[in-house]
Amino acid sequence: MPVFLSAALLAAAAPSAAAPAPAPAARQSLAVAAGAATPEDLYGPLFRAVELARVFPDSKTFADMIPNAAPADIMAAYRAERPAGRDALAAFVARFFVQAEARPAQALPLRAHIQSLWAILSKPPLATKAGSSALALPYAYVVPGGRYQEFYYWDTYFTMLGLKADGQTAMVESMLDNFVSLIERYGHIPNGTRSYYLSRSQPPYFALMLALSDNHDPAVARRRLAALKAEHRYWMAGAACLDASGACQHVVRMPDGSLLNRYWDARDTPRDESYVEDVATSAAAGPRPVNRDLRAAAESGWDFSARWLGDYQGLATIRTTEIVPIDLNSLLWAMEESLARRCAEAGDAAAARDFAAQAAARKAAIGRWLWSADEARFVDWDRARKAPTPIVSAALLTPLFVGLATPDQAHATAARVRRDLLAPGGMRTTTRRTGQQWDAPNGWAPLHWIAVEGLSRYGEDALARTIADRWLATVNRLYKATGRVVEKYDVETQAPGGGGEYAVQDGFGWTNGSVSALMQRYGIADRDLP
């Protein structure tokens, strides 16, 4: 298998098992860790002026720029000069901030192109500069691409699948150790490695990432187990503050007293990376606060979808924190199962029994509240309406992916996918057309991998292969026509996906990962792709 990373980068990607653990920073469960100010925190009036004047078409651009002077000096200059208007603000930003650009890759057959992209998307260890929103990373890592030039949480699981398929095992280990470092410093894995992402996480795939590791060093295993326990504490911290409302932080008390989880964010302000968009959504929502719900949807990774919308259509009706999602709770069940197994292997029988009991309780609660016998499908639960939501989405495949579903539930899910979600170019994200990017007609790489793995686990091999073949055909046809591998696809027309807060992005980490992993799984060569 060819190797595409430089020797220097591979060396950086291979942390020593004996390396000392970073000292944990002072952290708070309900707020951003001390010293990790967001761009809005640092540059207040300047940040708001630049964003609201639309100096950059994408709100994330300024949030990610690197200052070339101390933040205090920049703000002193801003107060002294008082630049007003888009042109004056743009000139001021150009003097004090810089932006990094990624290199393009050469044209090759699809799999070879993806393999060449790993070197472009790989980054060396990062030491941060004062005033930058970036968080330090001690080891090498891979970014998604395009506007996403930092290390992300759930994206990385699907990227790792491709890295492993393409022989980049050192990078897989390196990224696992970066995640351990993040948990040790902040108490959780943030949405991404920017200060403005610290107030939330993303779908918890760390336990599943650990299963991809080839490292069997006992010291590494102990450190990773401690990190996994800490992540579980983060997601379950709200159990200690539940009150009559029935929800605190990420934890929700269901009507029978059982505990499940929701997406949530510790901040309730506009997102730094989507500042002007959130200001506009808040204005459209009127007196009802929506910033925390917008942020919680970003934590879900499904930003945005009819799953979170009060009228299942308009973003101003977003109410993510009222929804108990099937995918999140399936992943937390998988985490608890992993913790029980790893604690048993470590000789901690008491902890193993505790986590096994938590997993069993969660499984029972999912069976009662997140499975609809009437509709024969997995559902999201609406706390306010005390009923399942009507949204049929690809999230219903997550219980199959982690092995939580019964055989009958799995076969009913397969029938639902055939009827409602299967499309000419892969699998629709939902059946709704809202203009949001996590709805029809878009399809996404992680959901296709989840579907293929989940359906195959329960013997639905023909449907799994159909989904894989259609998805690979969509990616390859667009690549042959444009030279691009993108973030999302329209699986009905086999074109780039639409909707969302920004233009479709090239790169793209999890698409690359899904393609390499699926081609390896089914023994597909480039010449076999349509």
Beta-bridged to residue 393, according to DSSP, are 430
Report, as an integer, the average pLDDT of 489-498. Answer: 95
Assess whether pLDDT exceeds 90 at residue 288: yes
Does the active-site annotation cover 184? no
User: Is the separation of the CB atoms in 282 and 252 below 8 Å?
Assistant: no
What tokens appear for 272 in the block?
């730094």
**Catalytic one of 487, 490, 501, 506:** 487
pLDDT of residue 7: 39
pLDDT-derived band at 23 (thresholds 50, 70, 90) equals: very low
**pLDDT tier for residue 101 given thresholds of 50, 70 and 90:** low
Q: What is the mean pLDDT of the chain?
A: 92
Counting residues of the chain whose pLDDT is more than 90, the rounded percentage is: 87
Catalytic residue check, 487: yes
As a whole number of angstroms, the distance between CA 246 and CA 266 comes to 17
**What global pTM score does this model have?**
0.87
User: Would you say the C-alpha torsion 100, 36, 249, 183 has a positive or negative sign?
Assistant: positive
Residues in a beta bridge with 122:
142
Residue 473 φ then ψ, to 5° = -65, -40
Average pLDDT estimate for 202-219: 98
Residue 136: DSSP 8-state: P
Q: What is the pLDDT of residue 94?
A: 83
- Model pLDDT for residues 444-489, shown as the tens digit of each residue: 999 999 999 999 999 999 999 999 999 999 999 999 999 999 999 9
| CB-based contact 259:336 (threshold 8 Å) | no
Active site residue: 303, 337, 453, 490, which one?
Answer: 303
What does the H/E/C string look like for 148-206?
ECCCECHHHHHHHHHHHHCCCHHHHHHHHHHHHHHHHHHCCCCCECEHHHCCCCCCCCH
Residue-wise pLDDT tens digits, 247-277: 999 999 999 999 999 999 999 999 999 999 9
Q: What are the Cα distances from residue 132, in Å, to 25, 52, 62, 70, 258?
A: 18, 20, 10, 10, 42
pLDDT(177) > 70: yes
Give the confidence band of 100 by pLDDT, cuts at 50, 70, 90. low
pLDDT (0 to 100) of residue 502: 87
At residue 98, the pLDDT reads 84
